[in-house]
Amino acid sequence: MTTILGIDPGSRKTGFGVVETDGASAVYVTSGIIRLPVDEPLGPRLGVLFTELNTIIDEFRPDELAIEQVFLARSPDAALKLGHARGAAMTACVHRGMAVHEYAARQIKQAVVGTGAASKEQVQHMVKTLLKLPAAPKEDAADALAAALCHLHSRQGLQSMPARARSRGRFR
């Protein structure tokens, strides 16, 4: 059994999603959003992200991290803020011995929807369908789950990523 953590980091909130596989199918474990205390200085804010991810790693023991690669940041200011969150989040995982796998947004959409030009809504819909969830996860959580599914796909050559539902843990 392999457990993959997908994350979608941001300077205000970070989506996360955990997916398991026994080699044949992808199984939903948990997903959610870590909200950073935006009124606090940068240090404590990144500390919250690091600590929350450690709690998730403690609880679900993922083996590997999947994260979207950033090619085109909007502005230097936005890129710096995103870099802070990505650096803190990736460090939390590397620190716990997890391998980090980066995928381009197009690869993730291609793996989950079947086209690299899919919309956010299509990603949310396909994540819900593939993982047999009762409702579409919120955007950031859906993106995190999509990254995790893309990694499973790439890792194991899962063709259609059949999923069976098994809700444990939060879904928010």
Pick 22 or 74: Cβ nearer a second copy:
74
Pick 13 or 128: Cβ nearer a second copy:
13
DSSP structural state of residue 13: E
Q: What is the residue whose two structure tokens read 């381009």?
A: 104
Beta strand pairing call for 64-68 and 99-103: parallel
The nearest distance, CB 118 to a second copy, in angstroms, is: 24
DSSP per position, 76-110: HHHHHHHHHHHHHHHHHHHHTT-EEEEE-HHHHHH
Enumerate residues 6+ apart whose C-beta is below 8 A from 112. 118, 123, 126, 127, 130, 146, 149, 150, 161
Pick 23 or 76: Cβ nearer a second copy:
76
Cα-to-chain-centroid distance, residue 160: 19
The nearest distance, CB 81 to a second copy, in angstroms, is: 7
Three-state SS letters, 126-165: HHHHHCCCCCCCCHHHHHHHHHHHHHHHHHHCCCCCCEEC
Q: What is the residue whose two structure tokens read 């890129």?
A: 79
Among all residues, which ones are annotated catalytic? 8, 68, 140
The nearest distance, CB 140 to a second copy, in angstroms, is: 18
Number of neighbouring beta carbons within 10 Å of residue 44: 11
Pick 13 or 86: Cβ nearer a second copy:
86
Q: Site residues (CB under 8 A) for a second copy?
A: 41-44, 46-47, 49-51, 65, 70, 72-95, 99-100, 102
